[in-house]
Amino acid sequence: MESLGPEMNTLTDENARRVEQVVELLRASRSLLFITGAGLSAESGLPTYRGIGGLYQGRNTEENVPIEALLSAETMETRPDLTWKYLLQIEEACRAAKPNRGHEVIAEMESEFDRVWVLTQNVDGFHHRAGSCNVIDIHGDLHRIRCMQCPYQQSVTDYAGFDIPPRCPDCNGILRPDVVLFGERLPAHQFATYHAEVPPGFDLVFSVGTTSVFPYISAPVLDAYHCRLPSVEINPDETKVSEFVTVKLPLGAASALDAVWRGYNR
CATH number of the domain residue 22 falls in: 3.40.50.1220
Burial 66-97 (b: 16+ CB within 10 A, else e): bbebbbbeebbeeebebbbbbbbbbbeebeeb
pLDDT for the residue 95: 86
Q: How far apart are CA 149 and CA 171, in angstroms?
A: 8
Cβ–Cβ under 8 Å, residues 50 and 57: yes
Number of domains in the chain: 2
Other CB atoms within 10 A of residue 236 CB: 12
Same domain, yes or no, for 119 and 157? no
Those residues with Cβ within 8 angstroms of residue 261's Cβ, 6 or more apart along the chain or in another chain: 105, 108, 109
pLDDT for the residue 66: 86
128 annotated active-site? no
Same domain, yes or no, for 200 and 253? yes
Query: Residue 60: inside a domain, yes or no?
Result: no
Same domain, yes or no, for 123 and 167? no
Same domain, yes or no, for 135 and 215? yes
pLDDT for the residue 129: 95
Q: What range does the domain containing 86 cover?
A: 67-95+149-179
pTM for this predicted structure = 0.90
At 86, phi and psi to the nearest 5?
Answer: -85, -30
pLDDT for the residue 217: 96
Same domain, yes or no, for 18 and 110? yes
Query: Residue 57: inside a domain, yes or no?
Result: no
Angle at CA 209, nearest 5°, toward 246 and 144? 130
Residue numbers in the chain where pLDDT is lower than 70 = 1-9, 47-60
Those residues with Cβ within 8 angstroms of residue 23's Cβ, 6 or more apart along the chain or in another chain: 4, 260, 263, 264
Same domain, yes or no, for 20 and 115? yes
Q: How far apart are CA 253 and CA 143, in angstroms?
A: 24
DSSP, collapsed to helix, strand or coil, labels residue 135 as: strand
pLDDT for the residue 89: 86
> Per the residue annotation, which of 103, 127, 128, 139 is the catalytic one?
139
Same domain, yes or no, for 257 and 206? yes
Query: Residue 174: inside a domain, yes or no?
Result: yes
Query: Residue 251: inside a domain, yes or no?
Result: yes
Query: Residue 52: inside a domain, yes or no?
Result: no
Amino acid code (one letter) for 256: A
Beta bridge mates, 140 = 179
pLDDT for the residue 48: 57
Same domain, yes or no, for 134 and 153? no
